[in-house]
Amino acid sequence: MRDLDRKAIRASRRLNWLVERFCVLLLVLLILDVWLGVLVRYILPVSWTFTEELARYLMIWAALLAVSSGISHREHIGMLVVFDQFPPGLRKWLAVAFDIIAFGFFAVIAVYGLDFVERGFSRYTMIGGLPKAYPFIGVPLAAGLACVQLMLVAIHDFFSEDGITAAERVEL
């Protein structure tokens, strides 16, 4: 169990590094797509209608994937005003309880998201007749990443011997 907390936070930060870069890529593609949409609507004499739908999917993917990044740094929504009123020993167990509840929530989304993806293979986008399952796969993927990040930061926070939480730890 020794150094388990540091290994967990290291794995969390490495996974988060990849997710953050992928989110930046999605945002760059989103900006380019929106500009392309403006150009084809007002300047270029082509009728590409897929740009609005692609922008929607890119934005949804980026937002969903960013959830795991927030979890990695413990920057997700919380009631710290109430939480900080409890003694440190009780806070540790409350954090575990909240992590278990959040894990259950994201696990349910991941499982039902897979059914959502499966049904998406029978529906098609305006983007070259692409099955909607490909954009829809962002839901279970993001929920699965959130589950992994929740496990890693919970392991870190629970087994941390120095009492430093995932939110406070800066080194890899």
The pLDDT-based confidence of 136 (bands split at 50, 70, 90) is: very high
The 10s digit of each residue's pLDDT in 92-118 is: 788 888 889 999 999 999 999 999 999
What 3-state DSSP class applies to 124?
Answer: strand
Question: Does the structure show a pLDDT above 80 at 14?
Answer: yes
Residue 168, token pair as written in the block: 């406070």
pLDDT of residue 172: 45
- If one counts every other C-beta atom within 10 angstroms of the C-beta of residue 1, the result is 7
Residues 100, 153 contacting (CB under 8 angstroms): no
The 10s digit of each residue's pLDDT in 35-79 is: 999 999 899 888 888 899 999 999 999 999 999 999 998 887 666
Domain regions of the chain by residue span: 4-159
Question: Does the structure show a pLDDT above 90 at 89?
Answer: no
